Amino acid sequence: GDSVTQMEGPVTLSEEAFLTINCTYTATGYPSLFWYVQYPGEGLQLLLKATKADDKGSNKGFEATYRKETTSFHLEKGSVQVSDSAVYFCALSDRTGTASKLTFGTGTRLQVTL
């Protein structure tokens, strides 16, 4: 079945450091790929998405490129801020029967310090 593997956290960075969170996936079809962010005590917010190979999703300084050849969708940001501290989930969307469902990784906690 489908699966998503993320690098384990927590990741601790100083403000303005470069961020990479690795994500690889296994899927039988041609999934769409997503990054979601979860702030403490809240639900998930869509950060960015890519729907086909070589697409680059971007939002709020975060970027990720859909790499079909390496089955990866790594999240990057050039300069993190304290406000970026949260848990980041990589996910893929594929069909199970007639439904589209999200399969998530286990999440990577990011902590940014001054």
Amino acid 42 reads E
Give the alpha-carbon dihedral of 109, 34, 93, 10, to 10 degrees.
-10
Contact 74, 56 (CB under 8 A): no
Choose between 16 and 42: whose C-beta lies nearer to other proteins: 42
- Using CB under 8 A, which of the segments 59-67, 69-77, 78-86, 94-102 binds other proteins? 94-102
Which 3 state secondary structure label does DSSP give 63?
A: strand
Choose between 98 and 114: whose C-beta lies nearer to other proteins: 98
In the complex, which residues of this chain contact other proteins (CB under 8 A)? 4, 31-32, 34, 36, 42-46, 49, 51, 89, 91, 93-107
